[in-house]
Amino acid sequence: MTKKPTAKKSVKEKTASKYKYNNVLVEQRKDGITFLILNRPEKRNAMSPELHHEMDDALERLAVDSNTKVLILTGAGKAFCAGQDLKTYFRGLSNDPVARSRAAAASESWRSYRLIGFPKPTIAMVNGFVFGGGLTPIVSCDVAIASHTAKFGISEINWGHIPGGLVGWNVNQVMSFRDAMWYSISGDTFNGKEAAAMKFVNFSVSHAKLKSETLKIARKLLKKNPWAIRYTKEAIRSVRDMNMEQAADYLRCKSDALQRVDKEQGRQEGMRQFLDEKSFRPGVGTYNRKK
Ligand code: COA
């Protein structure tokens, strides 16, 4: 008997999304990986006030959605994000201080606080153009991967502005001082390969492999103990600005807290599987969470 052709993988893996927005697409896959997609391809995903409000809402909901275990942030079409929408965000709100203030709050909220505080791993998948304020969410994600051909730019200088919002601070978090300064004052672009070499992103891959390589990263993170990975990402960020004594105290408290919240008691189980069962080696793999 001839086998029936199987349905296309991408279709099978997705679940019908309950999230409906005008400028944002949420694709939830059955394995717990969620794509959150800036969806204004005809405007190169420039961030309008409405997009900011929708992203803020989506991230608030996905943070507590048990069907989302790893989040991948990307853009539809040929851009990741062309920065703030100069027409609707800057010019359009210039005479409406209330709407301007609301949009500014949503803009900072989702790109910094919600992404940084997201309780599950976040991956920025940089597929194309990314300028100005579009850099911020990449810095806020835990991991970033770019297409070799993605085009990055701290372009504010090119239109007589400064890297405001938090862009000037963001670039200093992940770039060397020399690179942050040069790209901010020259407005020159850099590609995905260069972004990986200067550690603005972790990895750069060919455009054709961007999605599959991003999914590999997501699947790797999915295997880890979710309580431990949450506490680890929070700890790695928090200790950056602490002195040694503060960090030691904070990490001791964080470790103790993890033992309380970890529903699968991973530390004990990991030690058991390594020391008693000898079924895995923690240096080169993850313990079996299904046992
Ligand atoms: N704000 C408002 N509109 C924008 C925009 C932005 N940041 N970026 C792109 N768009 C709009 C364009 O105005 C154009 O709209 P239209 O079709 O109604 O004329 C549409 O998106 C497509 O842009 P276009 O320039 O034709 O596309 P492209 O592929 O040739 O170039 C970019 C893409 C990203 C290089 C170019 O659009 C650009 O330089 N954008 C601004 C980037 C920037 O400096 N952003 C920083 C803001 S803080």
252 and 192 in one domain?
no
Does the structure show a pLDDT above 90 at 11?
A: no
Spatial CB neighbours of 8, under 8 Å, sequence gap ≥ 6? none
231 and 93 in one domain?
no
79 and 156 in one domain?
yes
77 in a structural domain? yes
287 in a structural domain? no
180 and 109 in one domain?
yes
**Tally of domains within the chain:** 2
Question: Which residues is 143 bridged to in the sheet?
Answer: 123
What dihedral angle (degrees, nearest 10) is formed by the CA atoms of 48, 18, 214, 146? -10
244 and 217 in one domain?
no
- Rounded Cα–Cα distance for residues 141 and 240 (Å): 16
pLDDT digit string (tens) for 89-111?
Answer: 999 999 999 999 999 999 999 99
Does residue 33 contact residue 218 with C-beta atoms inside 8 Å?
yes
pLDDT digit string (tens) for 157-191?
Answer: 999 999 999 999 999 999 999 999 999 999 999 99
Quote the ligand 1 centre to 76 CA distance (angstroms): 14
Tokens of 82: 């062309």
pLDDT digit string (tens) for 182-219?
Answer: 999 999 999 999 999 999 999 999 999 999 999 999 99
Protein residue with least CA distance to atom 38, ligand 1? 82
Please state, rounded to an integer, the average pLDDT across all residues of the chain. 94
Protein residue with least CA distance to atom 29, ligand 1? 44
155 and 38 in one domain?
yes
What integer pLDDT is reported at residue 291 of this predicted model? 79
283 in a structural domain? no
258 and 217 in one domain?
no
Give the mean pLDDT of 146-151: 98
Residue from 200, 186, 179 nearest 130 by CA? 200
What integer pLDDT is reported at residue 290 of this predicted model? 87
Atom of ligand 1 nearest to the CA of 155: 44
Atom of ligand 1 nearest to the CA of 129: 34
253 and 150 in one domain?
no
239 and 171 in one domain?
no
Give the mean pLDDT of 9-28: 81
Protein residue with least CA distance to atom 35, ligand 1? 129
Does the structure show a pLDDT above 70 at 7?
A: no
Expressed as residue numbers, the domain containing 162 is: 14-222
Residue of 23, 38, 44, 89 best suited for mutating to test ligand 1, as the one with most atoms within 8 Å of CB? 44
Protein residue with least CA distance to atom 33, ligand 1? 44
Residue from 284, 259, 145 nearest 205 by CA? 145
Which residues lie with the beta carbon below 6 Å from any ligand 1 atom?
A: 43-44, 46, 79, 82-87, 129, 131-133, 155-156
